């Protein structure tokens, strides 16, 4: 290997090296295949990854096989992985250490040089995808001449775009030329943006990523026999998805164009990696391999050196690691067992809670409401949802019977007596919630946990009428309950450790990520959104046109504009949220009479029959008319950035959460704020808002790119 990779190896002293072991396999035909096993000598909990030292070793091993092929010692080369894992991609910890764009480019070039050897061994090359194959792991396979795949492989993907980069070891050029442009767009761009969706073995085979698929029990034996057939000529490899002349001439550019439009609509144009990937895929139509690889080198180097990748890795680690070990969570052993759940309320929200609890906890769930008719309606809704799960094949008949039998409804609160966890979803008004809990406390044991889903009230005050307020905790879901992964667990002043621990354990059992917050208005997500939406309404109230306000924070790259978000949560709810925050922090949060008027009117946007935004509703525009000091988009952006930096800084000073990481985690999981922003704080640091707001930064060193 040439010394031009010395910078890479220098930073890799602590790399967990995935070795390339070689054994010769004498095939049935009498030919010899050199089988390379990628193995980091750890068990399956530490998947093999690909760092610079790993790549250099693989390159040397492949060079040796090329020499042996030339000498006639071997007739084929294959690569496979340790049990359950081919390779989980590039070693991200190493990429995070890259000091400069030059070194980033070296990493791209090294990958291309090494994996590219699979195409120039002087003997056919195979990759037997025996397990997890992500990113660079899958690119090993794409660089080979032939691929087999294990039907049991749980995850195959090119997740690079999700992380703010592109498949830069050949994937962006090789994949569309192997499986066609539409399939490649799906794997490289669409899936990563769908919450990083992955493919199963069968999916990958059907897309044409692999040439043959075999059952797990005999995967390696069958793959070797198939490879023997290929090199002996008894097996003919067909690739129906390989793009032909027609696809290149007609379909390619159109498909890329459609994908670009969809991207612009869905995520805007701030995120760089999807568009970089799109450009590479477009160019792959009529460039040769080496040109394609060179383009990947530059694109990858640019992105690795940029701000968005650093923020994405930060966000990825939050979601992968911090979310699983929540800051401030008490010992799990303190948690009280939950063997029966009570839900107060039988409306839509309450029914969704009941469904979630019964599906995940599989314990009796009893719901109650003011009268039997409401209770019956709630139970009927839950049973209907369980039927739907059955119809869709998500659960079988036995499971459906089990779940339905667990859900009951009653107006007799004495049936809550043996519930260990009672959650309310009643009207968002303090006295109502106070009374509901005070009443239920007469029936339940002294240690049953009481949880409130309030989004705007003080949890402490909700417990004002309780004899045992220490068992009260806030448990704030996000809509839609079944989908959104965040729960804000509100640790009010009286909450004891056992209750807090129970809430954290229950959240995990519900497959939710919980973040602990103090009992302060809006907790985390609503407080941030109230700040943002309050600023947006304030700009409108002072005379800024909707269009200007709506586009002003486009540089964030949020999934929705402020007014789309307001319509989604409901204008009434939005107005209420602004009011409560204004009441709590009158000097920093705006309320808006106009928003109440818009809520009365019912809409901000004019939409077509399919619900697509055509423009701003004329009546809405008339309602907000009258402001006399309009702002520019730049002014609004600056106000929002600085305002958010200030507010988050205050929240941290007040210990609302343990660290800026928790704010970012809440925004990513609860509001869908993008990885490329790192949630909020990396972005606010890098645009200077932190400095302007409080003369410091949230992170030291800054989470930003290498270029600047």
Partner 1 sequence: MAERAEVVFVDGVRTPFGRAGEKGMYWQTRADDLIVKAMIGLLERNPNVPKDRIDEVAIAATTQTGDQGLTLGRTAALLAGLPKSVPGYAIERMCAGAMTAVTTTAGAIAFGAYDLAIAGGVEHMGRHPMGFGADPNPRFMAEKLVSADALNMGNTAERIHDRFPLLTKERADRFAFGSQRKTAEAYAAGKIQPDLIAVATRNANGWGLATADEGPRPETTMEGLAGLRTPFRAHGRVTAGNSSGLNDGATASLLASADAAKEFGLTTKMRLVSFAFAGVEPEIMGIGPVPSTEKALRKAGLTIADIGLFELNEAFAVQVLSLLDHFGIDDEDPRVNMWGGAIAVGHPLASSGVRLMIQLAAQFEEHPEVRYGLTAMCVGLGQGGSVIWENPHFTGKSKARKAK
| Closer residue to partner 1 in complex, CB, 217/370 | 217
Taking CB under 8 A as the rule, does residue 73 contact partner 1?
Answer: no
Residue 634 C-beta: closest distance to partner 1, Å: 60
Q: Which of 586, 692, 686 is nearest to 649 (CA)?
A: 692
Contact pattern for partner 1 over residues 37 through 66, marking x by CB under 8 A: x-x---------------------------
Q: Which residue has the tokens 């799960």?
A: 389
Sign of CA dihedral 438, 444, 447, 449: negative
344 with 350: CB under 8 angstroms?
yes
Taking CB under 8 A as the rule, does residue 215 contact partner 1?
Answer: yes
Dist CA 291 CA 283 (whole Å): 9
CB atoms within 10 A of CB 493: 11
CB atoms within 10 A of CB 458: 17
Taking CB under 8 A as the rule, does residue 218 contact partner 1?
Answer: yes
Residue 401 C-beta: closest distance to partner 1, Å: 20
Q: Which two tokens stand for residue 313?
A: 């890795």
Cβ-based burial of 363 (10 A; exposed 0-12, middle 13-18, buried ≥19): middle
Q: Which two tokens stand for residue 423?
A: 């959650």
Residue 126 C-beta: closest distance to partner 1, Å: 13
Taking CB under 8 A as the rule, does residue 269 contact partner 1?
Answer: no
Residue 166 C-beta: closest distance to partner 1, Å: 31
- Please list every residue from 83 through 102 that binds partner 1, using CB under 8 A: 83
Q: In 3-state terms, what secondary structure has residue 198? A: coil
| Closer residue to partner 1 in complex, CB, 151/289 | 151
| Closer residue to partner 1 in complex, CB, 82/471 | 82
Taking CB under 8 A as the rule, does residue 396 contact partner 1?
Answer: no
Q: In 3-state terms, what secondary structure has residue 366? A: strand
Residue 26 C-beta: closest distance to partner 1, Å: 7
| Closer residue to partner 1 in complex, CB, 212/623 | 212
| Closer residue to partner 1 in complex, CB, 80/492 | 80
Number of residues that bind partner 1 (CB under 8 A): 20
Taking CB under 8 A as the rule, does residue 221 contact partner 1?
Answer: yes
Q: Which of 104, 88, 6, 10 is nearest to 49 (CA)?
A: 88
Taking CB under 8 A as the rule, does residue 224 contact partner 1?
Answer: yes
Q: Which of 569, 456, 474, 469 is nearest to 514 (CA)?
A: 474
Contact pattern for partner 1 over residues 15 through 34, marking x by CB under 8 A: ------xxx-xx-x------
| Closer residue to partner 1 in complex, CB, 28/427 | 28
Cβ-based burial of 261 (10 A; exposed 0-12, middle 13-18, buried ≥19): exposed
Dist CA 315 CA 326 (whole Å): 15
| Closer residue to partner 1 in complex, CB, 73/600 | 73
Q: Which stretch binds partner 1 (CB under 8 A): 7-15, 221-229, 254-262, 635-643?
A: 221-229
Taking CB under 8 A as the rule, does residue 217 contact partner 1?
Answer: yes
Cβ-based burial of 675 (10 A; exposed 0-12, middle 13-18, buried ≥19): buried
Q: Which two tokens stand for residue 94?
A: 């190493």
Taking CB under 8 A as the rule, does residue 600 contact partner 1?
Answer: no
Q: Which residue has the tokens 């507010």?
A: 647
Residue 217 C-beta: closest distance to partner 1, Å: 6
Among 35, 179, 379, 537, binds partner 1 (CB under 8 A): 35
Interacting residues toward partner 1 by CB under 8 A = 21-23, 25-26, 28, 35-37, 39, 80, 83, 215, 217-221, 224-225
């Amino acid at each position: 290997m040439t010394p031009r990779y010395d910078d890479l190896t220098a930073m890799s002293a602590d790399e967990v090296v995935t070795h390339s072991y070689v054994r010769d396999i004498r095939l049935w035909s009498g030919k010899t295949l050199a089988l390379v096993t990628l193995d980091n000598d750890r068990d399956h909990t530490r998947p093999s990854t690909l760092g610079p030292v790993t790549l250099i070793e693989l390159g040397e091993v492949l060079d040796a096989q090329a020499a042996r092929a030339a000498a006639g010692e071997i007739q084929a080369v294959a690569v496979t992985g340790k049990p359950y894992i081919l390779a989980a991609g590039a070693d991200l910890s190493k990429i995070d250490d890259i000091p400069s764009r030059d070194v980033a480019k070296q990493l791209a070039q090294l990958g291309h040089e090494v994996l590219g050897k699979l195409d120039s061994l002087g003997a056919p090359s195979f990759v037997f995808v025996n397990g997890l194959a992500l990113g660079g792991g899958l690119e090993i396979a794409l660089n080979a001449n032939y691929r087999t795949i294990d039907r049991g492989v749980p995850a195959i993907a090119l997740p690079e775009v999700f992380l703010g980069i592109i498949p830069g070891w050949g994937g962006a050029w090789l994949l569309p030329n192997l499986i066609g442009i539409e399939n490649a767009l799906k794997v490289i761009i669409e899936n990563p943006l769908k919450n990083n969706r992955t493919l199963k073995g069968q999916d990958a085979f059907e897309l044409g990523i692999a040439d043959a698929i075999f059952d797990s029990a005999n995967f390696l034996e069958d793959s070797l026999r198939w490879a023997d057939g290929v090199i002996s000529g008894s097996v003919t490899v067909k690739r129906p998805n390989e793009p032909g002349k027609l696809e290149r001439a007609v379909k390619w550019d159109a498909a890329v164009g459609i994908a670009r439009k969809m991207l612009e609509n869905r995520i805007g144009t701030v995120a760089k990696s999807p568009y970089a990937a799109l450009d590479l895929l477009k160019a792959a139509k009529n460039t040769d391999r080496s040109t394609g690889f060179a383009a990947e080198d530059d694109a990858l180097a640019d992105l690795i050196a940029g701000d968005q990748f650093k923020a994405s890795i930060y966000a990825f680690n939050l979601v992968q690691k911090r979310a699983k070990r929540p800051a401030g969570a008490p010992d799990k052993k303190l948690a009280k067992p939950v063997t029966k759940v009570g839900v107060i309320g039988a409306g839509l929200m309450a029914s969704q809670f009941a469904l979630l609890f019964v599906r995940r906890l599989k314990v009796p769930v009893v719901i109650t409401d003011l009268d039997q008719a409401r209770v019956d309606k709630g139970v009927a809704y839950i049973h209907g949802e369980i039927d739907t799960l059955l119809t869709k094949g998500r659960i079988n008949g036995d499971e459906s019977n089990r779940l339905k039998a667990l859900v009951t409804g009653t107006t007799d609160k004495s049936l809550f007596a043996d519930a260990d966890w009672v959650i309310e979803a009643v009207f968002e008004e303090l006295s109502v919630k106070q009374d509901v809990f005070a009443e239920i406390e007469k029936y339940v044991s002294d240690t049953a946990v009481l949880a409130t889903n309030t989004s705007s009230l003080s949890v402490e005050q909700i417990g004002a009428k309780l004899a045992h307020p220490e068992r009260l905790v806030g448990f704030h879901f996000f809509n839609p309950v079944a989908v959104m992964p965040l729960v804000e667990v509100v640790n009010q002043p009286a909450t004891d450790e056992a209750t807090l621990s129970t809430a954290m354990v229950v959240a995990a059992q519900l497959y939710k990520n919980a973040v602990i917050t103090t009992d302060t208005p809006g907790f985390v997500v609503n407080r941030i959104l109230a700040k943002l939406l309050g600023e947006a309404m304030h700009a409108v109230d002072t005379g800024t046109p909707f269009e200007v306000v709506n586009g002003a924070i486009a540089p964030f790259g949020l999934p929705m504009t402020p007014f789309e978000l307001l319509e989604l949560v409901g204008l009434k709810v939005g107005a209420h949220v602004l009011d409560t925050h204004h009441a709590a922090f009158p000097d920093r949060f705006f309320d808006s009479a106009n928003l109440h008027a818009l809520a009365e009117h019912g809409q901000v946007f004019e939409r077509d029959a399919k619900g697509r935004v055509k423009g701003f509703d004329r009546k809405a525009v008339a309602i907000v008319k009258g402001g006399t000091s309009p702002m520019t988009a730049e002014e609004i952006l600056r106000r929002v950035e600085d305002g958010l930096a200030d507010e988050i800084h205050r929240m941290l000073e007040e210990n609302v959460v343990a660290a800026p990481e928790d704010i970012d985690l809440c925004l990513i999981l609860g509001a869908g704020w993008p990885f490329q922003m790192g949630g909020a704080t990396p972005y606010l640091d890098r645009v200077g808002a932190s400095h302007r707001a409080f003369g410091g930064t949230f992170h030291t060193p800054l989470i930003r790119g290498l270029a600047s």
